[in-house]
Amino acid sequence: MQRLPPVLKTCALGAVLALATTARAGDLVFHLTAHGNVTAGVNRLSGVPRGHCLQCHPERQTPVLSSPVLFTVNNNTLCFTCHAATGAGQFYAGQTAYASSSHATSANMYWPGPTPVARPATDAGKCLNCHTPHGARDAQGLISNLERFREEAACLGCHDATGPASTNISAELAKRAAHPVATVTGVHLVGESAATAFGTGKRHAECVDCHNPHAGTAAGPLTGTSRVRVTNGVAGAAPSFTLVPATDTTAVKEYELCFKCHSSWTTAPAGQTDLARVLNPANESMHPVEGVGKNTSAQMAGSLDGGTGLPHLSPTTVLTCADCHSNDDLPRTVSLVAGYTGAVPRGPHGSSASGGNAAFSNAMLRAPYRKDLKPKAEAYTVNDFTLCLVCHASGPFGTTGTTARTDTAFRFHGFHLRSISGKGSGGQDISVAGAGQGNAICRECHYNTHGTRGAPWSGNATYTRGVNFSPNIVGAGGTGQPTWAPGGTVGTGSCRLSCHGMNHAPETY
Protein backbone atom coordinates (compact mmCIF):
# COMPACT_ATOMS: atom_id res chain seq x y z
CA MET A 1 0.00 0.00 0.00
CA GLN A 2 1.33 3.45 -0.95
CA ARG A 3 1.46 6.56 1.20
CA LEU A 4 -0.60 9.61 0.30
CA PRO A 5 1.39 11.88 -2.06
CA PRO A 6 2.64 15.08 -0.36
CA VAL A 7 0.55 17.25 -2.65
CA LEU A 8 -2.60 15.64 -1.31
CA LYS A 9 -1.64 15.84 2.36
CA THR A 10 -2.61 19.51 2.34
CA CYS A 11 -6.02 18.75 0.86
CA ALA A 12 -8.61 19.88 3.37
CA LEU A 13 -11.47 17.61 4.33
CA GLY A 14 -13.88 20.01 2.70
CA ALA A 15 -12.05 19.69 -0.61
CA VAL A 16 -12.17 15.93 -0.37
CA LEU A 17 -15.91 16.02 0.20
CA ALA A 18 -16.31 18.49 -2.63
CA LEU A 19 -14.63 16.02 -4.94
CA ALA A 20 -17.24 13.45 -4.08
CA THR A 21 -20.07 15.84 -4.92
CA THR A 22 -18.67 16.36 -8.42
CA ALA A 23 -18.63 12.64 -9.20
CA ARG A 24 -20.02 11.64 -12.55
CA ALA A 25 -23.41 9.94 -12.84
CA GLY A 26 -21.92 6.43 -12.85
CA ASP A 27 -20.53 7.08 -9.37
CA LEU A 28 -24.03 7.19 -7.88
CA VAL A 29 -23.64 3.46 -7.16
CA PHE A 30 -19.90 3.53 -6.52
CA HIS A 31 -20.27 3.60 -2.73
CA LEU A 32 -22.28 0.34 -2.96
CA THR A 33 -19.55 -1.54 -4.81
CA ALA A 34 -16.51 -3.49 -3.62
CA HIS A 35 -14.33 -0.62 -4.82
CA GLY A 36 -16.28 2.10 -3.04
CA ASN A 37 -17.05 0.31 0.21
CA VAL A 38 -15.96 2.56 3.10
CA THR A 39 -14.76 -0.32 5.25
CA ALA A 40 -13.42 -2.82 2.72
CA GLY A 41 -12.97 -0.81 -0.47
CA VAL A 42 -9.85 0.25 -2.37
CA ASN A 43 -6.98 0.91 0.02
CA ARG A 44 -4.01 1.77 -2.19
CA LEU A 45 -3.14 4.90 -0.20
CA SER A 46 -2.97 4.80 3.59
CA GLY A 47 -3.72 8.48 4.02
CA VAL A 48 -6.97 8.41 2.06
CA PRO A 49 -10.20 6.83 3.33
CA ARG A 50 -10.96 3.37 2.00
CA GLY A 51 -13.04 3.38 -1.13
CA HIS A 52 -12.44 7.06 -1.83
CA CYS A 53 -12.10 8.40 -5.39
CA LEU A 54 -8.62 9.66 -4.57
CA GLN A 55 -7.40 6.10 -4.20
CA CYS A 56 -7.32 5.88 -8.01
CA HIS A 57 -7.72 9.51 -9.13
CA PRO A 58 -4.89 11.56 -7.53
CA GLU A 59 -6.06 14.86 -9.06
CA ARG A 60 -9.39 16.56 -9.05
CA GLN A 61 -10.63 17.10 -12.61
CA THR A 62 -12.43 20.35 -13.19
CA PRO A 63 -14.35 20.42 -15.40
CA VAL A 64 -13.19 17.54 -17.67
CA LEU A 65 -14.85 14.64 -15.86
CA SER A 66 -14.96 12.41 -18.93
CA SER A 67 -11.19 11.89 -18.91
CA PRO A 68 -10.16 11.62 -15.26
CA VAL A 69 -6.48 11.36 -14.44
CA LEU A 70 -5.43 8.01 -12.96
CA PHE A 71 -2.36 7.12 -10.94
CA THR A 72 -1.03 5.03 -13.83
CA VAL A 73 -1.86 4.18 -17.43
CA ASN A 74 -5.45 2.99 -17.87
CA ASN A 75 -4.90 -0.67 -18.75
CA ASN A 76 -4.70 -3.94 -16.87
CA THR A 77 -1.56 -2.75 -15.08
CA LEU A 78 -3.76 -0.39 -13.11
CA CYS A 79 -6.10 -3.23 -12.08
CA PHE A 80 -3.25 -5.56 -11.17
CA THR A 81 -1.95 -3.02 -8.65
CA CYS A 82 -4.62 -4.40 -6.33
CA HIS A 83 -5.78 -7.53 -8.15
CA ALA A 84 -2.56 -9.50 -8.54
CA ALA A 85 -3.48 -12.22 -6.06
CA THR A 86 -6.45 -14.56 -5.81
CA GLY A 87 -9.76 -12.81 -5.18
CA ALA A 88 -11.78 -13.23 -2.01
CA GLY A 89 -14.68 -14.81 -3.92
CA GLN A 90 -12.38 -17.62 -5.20
CA PHE A 91 -13.46 -16.98 -8.79
CA TYR A 92 -10.53 -14.76 -9.71
CA ALA A 93 -7.37 -16.84 -9.58
CA GLY A 94 -4.93 -13.94 -9.88
CA GLN A 95 -2.90 -12.06 -12.47
CA THR A 96 -0.82 -15.03 -13.60
CA ALA A 97 -3.85 -17.21 -14.34
CA TYR A 98 -5.60 -14.41 -16.20
CA ALA A 99 -2.55 -13.62 -18.32
CA SER A 100 -2.72 -17.15 -19.76
CA SER A 101 -6.46 -17.18 -20.34
CA SER A 102 -8.25 -16.85 -23.66
CA HIS A 103 -9.80 -13.58 -22.60
CA ALA A 104 -6.38 -12.10 -21.99
CA THR A 105 -4.74 -13.37 -25.16
CA SER A 106 -7.52 -13.35 -27.76
CA ALA A 107 -7.63 -10.48 -30.27
CA ASN A 108 -11.42 -10.90 -30.27
CA MET A 109 -11.93 -10.07 -26.61
CA TYR A 110 -13.22 -6.49 -26.79
CA TRP A 111 -16.67 -5.10 -26.06
CA PRO A 112 -18.63 -4.67 -29.33
CA GLY A 113 -21.20 -2.11 -28.16
CA PRO A 114 -23.52 -0.43 -28.79
CA THR A 115 -24.40 -0.06 -25.09
CA PRO A 116 -22.12 0.89 -23.54
CA VAL A 117 -20.19 2.28 -26.47
CA ALA A 118 -17.95 -0.19 -28.31
CA ARG A 119 -14.33 -0.38 -27.29
CA PRO A 120 -11.63 -0.45 -29.99
CA ALA A 121 -9.99 -3.72 -31.01
CA THR A 122 -6.79 -2.37 -29.47
CA ASP A 123 -8.48 -2.79 -26.07
CA ALA A 124 -8.61 -6.58 -26.51
CA GLY A 125 -7.95 -8.37 -23.24
CA LYS A 126 -8.59 -5.39 -21.01
CA CYS A 127 -10.53 -5.85 -17.80
CA LEU A 128 -12.67 -2.85 -18.77
CA ASN A 129 -14.36 -4.85 -21.52
CA CYS A 130 -16.38 -6.70 -18.89
CA HIS A 131 -15.98 -4.60 -15.75
CA THR A 132 -16.75 -1.02 -14.84
CA PRO A 133 -14.69 0.19 -11.87
CA HIS A 134 -17.46 2.51 -10.69
CA GLY A 135 -20.15 -0.17 -10.71
CA ALA A 136 -23.46 -0.52 -12.48
CA ARG A 137 -27.01 -1.35 -11.56
CA ASP A 138 -30.13 -2.49 -13.35
CA ALA A 139 -33.76 -3.01 -12.42
CA GLN A 140 -32.73 -5.77 -10.00
CA GLY A 141 -30.23 -3.57 -8.20
CA LEU A 142 -26.44 -3.53 -7.98
CA ILE A 143 -24.70 -5.82 -10.46
CA SER A 144 -22.12 -7.95 -8.65
CA ASN A 145 -18.40 -8.10 -9.31
CA LEU A 146 -18.34 -4.61 -10.88
CA GLU A 147 -19.60 -6.19 -14.10
CA ARG A 148 -21.29 -4.13 -16.79
CA PHE A 149 -24.19 -6.56 -17.18
CA ARG A 150 -25.83 -9.21 -15.06
CA GLU A 151 -25.22 -12.94 -15.48
CA GLU A 152 -25.26 -14.27 -19.07
CA ALA A 153 -25.82 -10.80 -20.58
CA ALA A 154 -22.17 -10.03 -19.91
CA CYS A 155 -21.10 -13.07 -21.94
CA LEU A 156 -23.67 -13.16 -24.73
CA GLY A 157 -22.91 -9.58 -25.73
CA CYS A 158 -19.84 -11.07 -27.44
CA HIS A 159 -20.76 -14.75 -27.79
CA ASP A 160 -23.63 -14.23 -30.21
CA ALA A 161 -24.17 -14.15 -33.96
CA THR A 162 -22.43 -10.80 -34.39
CA GLY A 163 -19.34 -11.53 -32.30
CA PRO A 164 -16.58 -10.59 -31.96
CA ALA A 165 -16.24 -13.93 -30.12
CA SER A 166 -15.77 -16.90 -32.47
CA THR A 167 -18.46 -19.02 -30.77
CA ASN A 168 -22.17 -18.19 -30.96
CA ILE A 169 -23.36 -19.56 -27.62
CA SER A 170 -26.52 -17.44 -27.69
CA ALA A 171 -27.88 -19.59 -30.52
CA GLU A 172 -27.08 -22.79 -28.61
CA LEU A 173 -29.01 -21.63 -25.55
CA ALA A 174 -32.06 -21.01 -27.73
CA LYS A 175 -32.28 -24.64 -28.87
CA ARG A 176 -34.98 -27.13 -27.84
CA ALA A 177 -32.91 -28.56 -25.00
CA ALA A 178 -30.49 -26.26 -23.19
CA HIS A 179 -29.09 -25.53 -19.80
CA PRO A 180 -31.36 -22.91 -18.17
CA VAL A 181 -28.86 -20.09 -18.55
CA ALA A 182 -31.31 -17.67 -20.13
CA THR A 183 -34.45 -18.89 -18.36
CA VAL A 184 -33.41 -18.79 -14.70
CA THR A 185 -32.17 -15.55 -13.20
CA GLY A 186 -31.32 -14.19 -9.77
CA VAL A 187 -30.43 -17.57 -8.24
CA HIS A 188 -26.67 -17.81 -8.79
CA LEU A 189 -24.57 -16.50 -5.90
CA VAL A 190 -21.06 -15.13 -6.13
CA GLY A 191 -18.66 -17.64 -4.60
CA GLU A 192 -21.37 -20.25 -4.05
CA SER A 193 -19.87 -23.44 -2.66
CA ALA A 194 -22.54 -25.16 -0.56
CA ALA A 195 -24.31 -28.18 -1.99
CA THR A 196 -27.65 -26.50 -1.27
CA ALA A 197 -26.78 -23.73 -3.74
CA PHE A 198 -27.28 -26.21 -6.59
CA GLY A 199 -30.15 -28.24 -5.17
CA THR A 200 -33.91 -28.39 -5.50
CA GLY A 201 -35.44 -24.94 -5.45
CA LYS A 202 -32.16 -23.33 -6.51
CA ARG A 203 -31.43 -25.20 -9.72
CA HIS A 204 -29.66 -22.89 -12.11
CA ALA A 205 -26.85 -22.77 -14.64
CA GLU A 206 -25.05 -19.55 -15.39
CA CYS A 207 -22.06 -19.29 -17.71
CA VAL A 208 -19.73 -18.92 -14.74
CA ASP A 209 -20.96 -22.17 -13.19
CA CYS A 210 -19.02 -23.98 -15.90
CA HIS A 211 -16.55 -21.40 -17.23
CA ASN A 212 -14.12 -19.03 -15.54
CA PRO A 213 -13.56 -15.98 -17.76
CA HIS A 214 -10.37 -15.20 -15.83
CA ALA A 215 -8.75 -18.61 -16.33
CA GLY A 216 -10.39 -20.56 -19.18
CA THR A 217 -8.40 -21.31 -22.32
CA ALA A 218 -9.18 -22.81 -25.71
CA ALA A 219 -7.48 -26.02 -24.62
CA GLY A 220 -9.01 -25.91 -21.14
CA PRO A 221 -12.38 -24.12 -21.30
CA LEU A 222 -13.36 -25.45 -17.87
CA THR A 223 -10.16 -24.36 -16.10
CA GLY A 224 -10.71 -22.47 -12.87
CA THR A 225 -14.24 -23.65 -12.12
CA SER A 226 -15.42 -25.18 -8.88
CA ARG A 227 -16.24 -28.86 -9.12
CA VAL A 228 -16.96 -31.93 -7.01
CA ARG A 229 -14.26 -34.56 -6.68
CA VAL A 230 -15.36 -38.09 -5.83
CA THR A 231 -13.80 -40.85 -3.79
CA ASN A 232 -15.52 -44.01 -4.97
CA GLY A 233 -16.38 -46.98 -2.82
CA VAL A 234 -17.80 -50.38 -3.61
CA ALA A 235 -20.05 -51.07 -6.58
CA GLY A 236 -23.46 -49.45 -6.30
CA ALA A 237 -22.49 -47.11 -3.47
CA ALA A 238 -22.61 -43.33 -3.69
CA PRO A 239 -19.10 -41.85 -3.38
CA SER A 240 -17.86 -39.33 -0.87
CA PHE A 241 -17.54 -35.82 -2.25
CA THR A 242 -14.99 -33.02 -1.89
CA LEU A 243 -15.64 -29.56 -3.29
CA VAL A 244 -12.67 -28.25 -5.28
CA PRO A 245 -12.68 -24.42 -5.34
CA ALA A 246 -12.40 -22.33 -8.48
CA THR A 247 -8.97 -21.14 -7.39
CA ASP A 248 -7.64 -24.62 -8.13
CA THR A 249 -6.54 -24.16 -11.76
CA THR A 250 -5.30 -27.72 -12.25
CA ALA A 251 -6.89 -29.75 -15.06
CA VAL A 252 -10.63 -30.21 -14.62
CA LYS A 253 -12.27 -33.58 -15.13
CA GLU A 254 -15.49 -32.65 -16.86
CA TYR A 255 -17.68 -35.09 -14.93
CA GLU A 256 -16.62 -33.44 -11.65
CA LEU A 257 -18.13 -30.22 -12.91
CA CYS A 258 -21.36 -31.98 -13.92
CA PHE A 259 -21.61 -33.64 -10.51
CA LYS A 260 -22.30 -30.24 -8.89
CA CYS A 261 -25.87 -30.64 -10.17
CA HIS A 262 -26.20 -34.22 -11.38
CA SER A 263 -25.22 -36.25 -8.33
CA SER A 264 -26.20 -36.89 -4.73
CA TRP A 265 -23.74 -34.21 -3.62
CA THR A 266 -26.77 -31.93 -3.85
CA THR A 267 -30.53 -32.51 -3.68
CA ALA A 268 -31.60 -33.37 -7.21
CA PRO A 269 -35.17 -33.25 -8.56
CA ALA A 270 -37.25 -36.38 -8.07
CA GLY A 271 -36.48 -39.09 -10.59
CA GLN A 272 -33.06 -37.78 -11.60
CA THR A 273 -30.33 -40.42 -11.69
CA ASP A 274 -27.42 -40.03 -9.27
CA LEU A 275 -24.73 -40.09 -11.94
CA ALA A 276 -21.91 -40.25 -9.40
CA ARG A 277 -23.26 -43.58 -8.17
CA VAL A 278 -24.12 -44.97 -11.61
CA LEU A 279 -20.76 -44.06 -13.19
CA ASN A 280 -18.67 -45.54 -10.37
CA PRO A 281 -15.86 -47.51 -12.10
CA ALA A 282 -16.35 -50.29 -9.54
CA ASN A 283 -19.81 -51.00 -10.95
CA GLU A 284 -20.49 -53.98 -13.13
CA SER A 285 -21.31 -51.93 -16.22
CA MET A 286 -21.28 -48.21 -17.07
CA HIS A 287 -20.23 -45.92 -19.86
CA PRO A 288 -16.49 -45.26 -19.31
CA VAL A 289 -16.56 -41.68 -18.02
CA GLU A 290 -14.57 -41.90 -14.78
CA GLY A 291 -12.33 -44.68 -16.02
CA VAL A 292 -11.95 -47.52 -18.50
CA GLY A 293 -15.09 -49.62 -19.04
CA LYS A 294 -15.60 -53.23 -18.02
CA ASN A 295 -16.30 -54.76 -21.42
CA THR A 296 -12.90 -55.31 -23.03
CA SER A 297 -14.04 -58.19 -25.26
CA ALA A 298 -13.05 -58.64 -28.88
CA GLN A 299 -16.68 -58.08 -29.89
CA MET A 300 -16.72 -54.71 -28.13
CA ALA A 301 -13.51 -53.78 -29.91
CA GLY A 302 -15.19 -54.73 -33.20
CA SER A 303 -18.26 -52.67 -32.38
CA LEU A 304 -16.22 -49.59 -31.52
CA ASP A 305 -14.18 -49.98 -34.67
CA GLY A 306 -17.25 -49.40 -36.82
CA GLY A 307 -18.80 -46.16 -35.55
CA THR A 308 -19.28 -43.11 -37.76
CA GLY A 309 -17.05 -41.04 -35.50
CA LEU A 310 -13.30 -40.81 -36.02
CA PRO A 311 -10.94 -41.74 -34.63
CA HIS A 312 -12.60 -45.07 -33.89
CA LEU A 313 -12.67 -45.89 -30.20
CA SER A 314 -11.37 -48.91 -28.32
CA PRO A 315 -12.40 -50.74 -25.13
CA THR A 316 -9.83 -48.66 -23.21
CA THR A 317 -11.20 -45.29 -24.39
CA VAL A 318 -12.44 -42.96 -21.63
CA LEU A 319 -15.28 -40.61 -22.55
CA THR A 320 -16.44 -37.23 -21.31
CA CYS A 321 -20.04 -36.28 -20.65
CA ALA A 322 -19.91 -33.96 -23.69
CA ASP A 323 -19.18 -36.89 -26.02
CA CYS A 324 -22.92 -37.63 -25.79
CA HIS A 325 -24.34 -34.40 -24.37
CA SER A 326 -23.30 -31.68 -26.75
CA ASN A 327 -24.18 -29.52 -29.72
CA ASP A 328 -26.25 -31.38 -32.32
CA ASP A 329 -24.41 -29.48 -35.08
CA LEU A 330 -21.18 -31.33 -34.32
CA PRO A 331 -20.23 -33.58 -37.24
CA ARG A 332 -21.18 -37.25 -36.69
CA THR A 333 -17.76 -38.07 -38.12
CA VAL A 334 -16.22 -36.84 -34.86
CA SER A 335 -16.02 -39.35 -32.02
CA LEU A 336 -14.40 -37.51 -29.10
CA VAL A 337 -15.64 -33.95 -28.75
CA ALA A 338 -12.44 -32.79 -27.05
CA GLY A 339 -10.52 -33.46 -30.25
CA TYR A 340 -12.83 -31.40 -32.44
CA THR A 341 -11.24 -28.18 -33.74
CA GLY A 342 -13.94 -26.91 -36.10
CA ALA A 343 -16.11 -23.81 -35.84
CA VAL A 344 -19.15 -25.41 -34.17
CA PRO A 345 -19.28 -24.70 -30.40
CA ARG A 346 -18.52 -27.77 -28.29
CA GLY A 347 -20.13 -28.75 -25.03
CA PRO A 348 -23.56 -29.08 -23.42
CA HIS A 349 -24.94 -25.61 -24.11
CA GLY A 350 -27.92 -26.67 -26.18
CA SER A 351 -29.24 -29.16 -28.73
CA SER A 352 -32.17 -29.63 -31.07
CA ALA A 353 -31.30 -33.24 -31.90
CA SER A 354 -34.90 -34.40 -31.44
CA GLY A 355 -36.00 -32.19 -34.31
CA GLY A 356 -39.31 -31.73 -32.54
CA ASN A 357 -40.20 -35.42 -32.94
CA ALA A 358 -41.90 -36.47 -29.70
CA ALA A 359 -40.69 -40.05 -30.13
CA PHE A 360 -37.10 -38.90 -29.69
CA SER A 361 -35.35 -37.87 -26.52
CA ASN A 362 -35.45 -34.15 -25.88
CA ALA A 363 -32.40 -34.41 -23.66
CA MET A 364 -29.34 -32.40 -24.59
CA LEU A 365 -27.81 -34.95 -26.96
CA ARG A 366 -25.45 -34.46 -29.88
CA ALA A 367 -27.49 -36.73 -32.16
CA PRO A 368 -31.02 -38.23 -32.35
CA TYR A 369 -31.93 -41.06 -29.98
CA ARG A 370 -35.34 -42.74 -30.01
CA LYS A 371 -36.94 -43.02 -26.57
CA ASP A 372 -40.49 -44.19 -27.43
CA LEU A 373 -41.56 -47.57 -28.73
CA LYS A 374 -42.21 -47.95 -32.45
CA PRO A 375 -45.67 -48.44 -33.91
CA LYS A 376 -46.58 -51.47 -36.02
CA ALA A 377 -45.19 -51.59 -39.52
CA GLU A 378 -42.59 -48.87 -38.94
CA ALA A 379 -39.35 -50.10 -40.45
CA TYR A 380 -35.92 -49.96 -38.90
CA THR A 381 -33.89 -46.85 -39.66
CA VAL A 382 -30.42 -45.86 -38.52
CA ASN A 383 -31.82 -42.40 -37.81
CA ASP A 384 -33.49 -43.78 -34.68
CA PHE A 385 -30.11 -44.49 -33.09
CA THR A 386 -27.72 -41.98 -34.64
CA LEU A 387 -26.32 -41.15 -31.21
CA CYS A 388 -25.31 -44.76 -30.51
CA LEU A 389 -23.86 -45.25 -33.97
CA VAL A 390 -21.34 -42.41 -33.58
CA CYS A 391 -19.34 -44.91 -31.52
CA HIS A 392 -20.85 -48.32 -32.27
CA ALA A 393 -20.97 -50.20 -35.58
CA SER A 394 -24.29 -50.26 -37.40
CA GLY A 395 -23.51 -53.63 -39.01
CA PRO A 396 -25.29 -55.81 -36.41
CA PHE A 397 -28.54 -53.93 -37.02
CA GLY A 398 -28.36 -54.01 -40.80
CA THR A 399 -29.31 -57.67 -41.13
CA THR A 400 -31.91 -60.11 -39.85
CA GLY A 401 -29.35 -62.89 -39.88
CA THR A 402 -28.60 -64.70 -36.63
CA THR A 403 -25.13 -66.07 -37.19
CA ALA A 404 -22.30 -65.16 -34.82
CA ARG A 405 -20.57 -61.83 -35.48
CA THR A 406 -17.27 -60.20 -34.59
CA ASP A 407 -18.83 -56.80 -33.79
CA THR A 408 -21.42 -57.90 -31.20
CA ALA A 409 -21.87 -60.69 -28.69
CA PHE A 410 -25.63 -60.72 -29.28
CA ARG A 411 -26.33 -62.15 -32.71
CA PHE A 412 -30.06 -61.25 -32.62
CA HIS A 413 -29.64 -57.46 -32.61
CA GLY A 414 -30.78 -57.04 -36.21
CA PHE A 415 -33.59 -59.55 -35.83
CA HIS A 416 -35.13 -57.62 -32.91
CA LEU A 417 -34.81 -54.24 -34.58
CA ARG A 418 -36.10 -55.41 -37.99
CA SER A 419 -38.29 -58.48 -37.71
CA ILE A 420 -40.70 -58.38 -34.77
CA SER A 421 -43.14 -55.69 -35.91
CA GLY A 422 -46.70 -56.77 -35.20
CA LYS A 423 -45.74 -59.51 -32.74
CA GLY A 424 -47.19 -57.61 -29.79
CA SER A 425 -50.46 -55.80 -29.22
CA GLY A 426 -49.42 -53.41 -26.46
CA GLY A 427 -49.14 -49.65 -26.67
CA GLN A 428 -46.13 -47.45 -27.34
CA ASP A 429 -45.44 -46.16 -23.81
CA ILE A 430 -42.15 -47.72 -22.72
CA SER A 431 -43.00 -47.15 -19.06
CA VAL A 432 -46.08 -49.42 -19.20
CA ALA A 433 -45.61 -53.14 -18.54
CA GLY A 434 -46.49 -55.23 -21.59
CA ALA A 435 -46.27 -52.36 -24.07
CA GLY A 436 -44.75 -53.08 -27.48
CA GLN A 437 -46.23 -53.65 -30.92
CA GLY A 438 -43.48 -52.75 -33.39
CA ASN A 439 -39.80 -53.44 -33.90
CA ALA A 440 -37.58 -53.12 -30.84
CA ILE A 441 -35.42 -50.12 -29.99
CA CYS A 442 -32.02 -49.95 -28.26
CA ARG A 443 -33.54 -48.55 -25.10
CA GLU A 444 -35.58 -51.66 -24.36
CA CYS A 445 -32.49 -53.70 -23.48
CA HIS A 446 -30.20 -50.80 -22.53
CA TYR A 447 -32.62 -48.59 -20.63
CA ASN A 448 -30.26 -46.60 -18.43
CA THR A 449 -27.37 -45.94 -20.77
CA HIS A 450 -25.21 -44.33 -18.10
CA GLY A 451 -24.93 -47.60 -16.21
CA THR A 452 -26.83 -50.64 -15.03
CA ARG A 453 -26.82 -49.48 -11.40
CA GLY A 454 -29.53 -47.07 -12.57
CA ALA A 455 -31.72 -49.90 -13.90
CA PRO A 456 -35.50 -49.62 -13.39
CA TRP A 457 -35.60 -53.32 -12.44
CA SER A 458 -33.62 -53.91 -9.24
CA GLY A 459 -32.62 -57.38 -10.39
CA ASN A 460 -30.85 -55.87 -13.42
CA ALA A 461 -28.61 -53.53 -11.41
CA THR A 462 -25.61 -55.86 -11.38
CA TYR A 463 -25.80 -56.92 -15.02
CA THR A 464 -22.86 -56.44 -17.34
CA ARG A 465 -22.62 -55.22 -20.96
CA GLY A 466 -25.03 -52.38 -20.35
CA VAL A 467 -28.01 -54.72 -20.19
CA ASN A 468 -30.92 -53.43 -18.12
CA PHE A 469 -34.46 -53.85 -19.39
CA SER A 470 -37.06 -51.13 -19.79
CA PRO A 471 -40.28 -51.12 -17.71
CA ASN A 472 -42.41 -52.46 -20.56
CA ILE A 473 -40.45 -55.73 -20.52
CA VAL A 474 -41.51 -58.04 -17.69
CA GLY A 475 -40.67 -61.49 -16.42
CA ALA A 476 -41.46 -64.72 -18.25
CA GLY A 477 -45.18 -65.42 -18.20
CA GLY A 478 -45.95 -61.73 -17.84
CA THR A 479 -45.10 -61.33 -14.16
CA GLY A 480 -42.04 -60.48 -12.11
CA GLN A 481 -38.74 -59.09 -13.28
CA PRO A 482 -37.05 -59.83 -16.59
CA THR A 483 -33.73 -61.65 -16.26
CA TRP A 484 -30.69 -62.17 -18.46
CA ALA A 485 -27.59 -64.34 -18.32
CA PRO A 486 -24.54 -63.62 -20.48
CA GLY A 487 -22.87 -66.33 -22.46
CA GLY A 488 -19.33 -66.79 -23.61
CA THR A 489 -20.19 -68.83 -26.72
CA VAL A 490 -23.18 -69.26 -29.02
CA GLY A 491 -26.09 -70.88 -27.21
CA THR A 492 -24.87 -70.22 -23.67
CA GLY A 493 -26.54 -66.83 -23.08
CA SER A 494 -30.22 -66.56 -22.22
CA CYS A 495 -33.14 -64.20 -21.62
CA ARG A 496 -36.10 -65.11 -19.39
CA LEU A 497 -38.77 -62.48 -19.98
CA SER A 498 -41.87 -61.40 -21.88
CA CYS A 499 -41.71 -58.63 -24.47
CA HIS A 500 -43.74 -57.55 -27.50
CA GLY A 501 -46.14 -60.40 -26.90
CA MET A 502 -43.39 -63.03 -26.98
CA ASN A 503 -42.60 -65.24 -24.00
CA HIS A 504 -38.93 -66.17 -23.46
CA ALA A 505 -38.84 -68.93 -20.88
CA PRO A 506 -35.94 -68.85 -21.62
CA GLU A 507 -34.59 -68.11 -25.09
CA THR A 508 -30.92 -68.82 -25.64
CA TYR A 509 -28.46 -67.05 -27.86
Give the CA dihedral 285, 291, 295, 299, nearest 10 degrees.
130
pLDDT of 415 > 80? The answer is yes
63 contacts: CB under 8 Å, gap ≥ 6: none
Q: What pLDDT band is residue 61 in, cutting at 50, 70 and 90?
A: low
pLDDT at 240 over 90: yes
Least confident of 9-13, 65-69, 402-406: 9-13
Number of folded domains in the chain? 2
pLDDT, tens only, 437-465: 999 999 999 999 999 999 999 999 999 99
CB 42 within 8 A of CB 55: yes
* CA atoms 375, 380, 386, 388: torsion sign: positive
CA–centroid distance for 271 within its chain:
20
In a domain? residue 267? no
Q: Is the pLDDT of residue 264 over 70?
A: yes
Residue 133 belongs to some domain of the structure? yes
14-18, 133-137, 343-347, 462-466: least confident range = 14-18
What's the pLDDT tens digit per position in 462-501? 999 999 999 999 999 999 999 999 988 888 999 999 999 9
pLDDT averaged over every residue in the chain: 92
- As a whole-number percent, the residues of the chain with pLDDT over 90 amount to 88
The single-letter DSSP state of residue 174 is T
The DSSP letter of residue 250 is S
DSSP category for residue 191: T
355 assigned to some structural domain:
no
Residue type, 490: V
pLDDT of residue 60: 62
Whether 399 is covered by a domain: the verdict is no
- Three-point CA angle 72, 75, 77, nearest 5°: 65
Q: Kindly report, residue by residue over 2-57, the tens digit of the pLDDT.
A: 433 333 333 333 333 333 333 334 457 999 999 999 999 999 999 999 999 999 99
**Are 339 and 449 within 8 A, CB to CB?**
no
- pLDDT average, residue stretch 73-92: 89
Specify the pLDDT at position 467: 98
Residue 93 lies in a domain: yes
> Where is the domain boundary, 156, 186, 207?
156
Please state the three-class secondary structure of 417-476 as a single string: HHCCCCCCCCCCCCCCCCCCCCCCCHHHCECCCCEHHHCCCHHHCCCCCCCECCCCCECH
The reported pLDDT for the residue numbered 62 is 53
Provide the phi-psi class of 224: left if phi over 0, else alpha when psi is between -120 and 50, else beta: left
Distance CA 328, CA 348 (A): 10
Residue 16's nearest CA partner among 278, 445, 45 is 45
DSSP label of 11:
-
In a domain, 252, yes or no: no
Count of Cβ atoms closer than 10 Å to residue 439 Cβ: 25
Of 115, 136, 156, the last residue of a domain is 156
Predicted pLDDT at 333: 98
Pick from 89-93, 179-183, 206-210: least confident: 89-93
Residues 6+ positions from 118 with CB-CB distance below 8 Å: 110, 111, 112
Which of 106, 133, 156 is the last residue before a domain boundary?
156
Does 178 fall in a domain? no
Distance CA(248)–CA(93), nearest Å, equals: 8
Q: What average pLDDT does this structure show over 405-415?
A: 97
Size of the chain in residues: 509
* pLDDT recorded at residue 10: 36
How large is the average pLDDT for residues 350-367?
97
Domain that includes residue 88, residue range = 6-156
In a domain, 268, yes or no: no
pLDDT of residue 93: 87
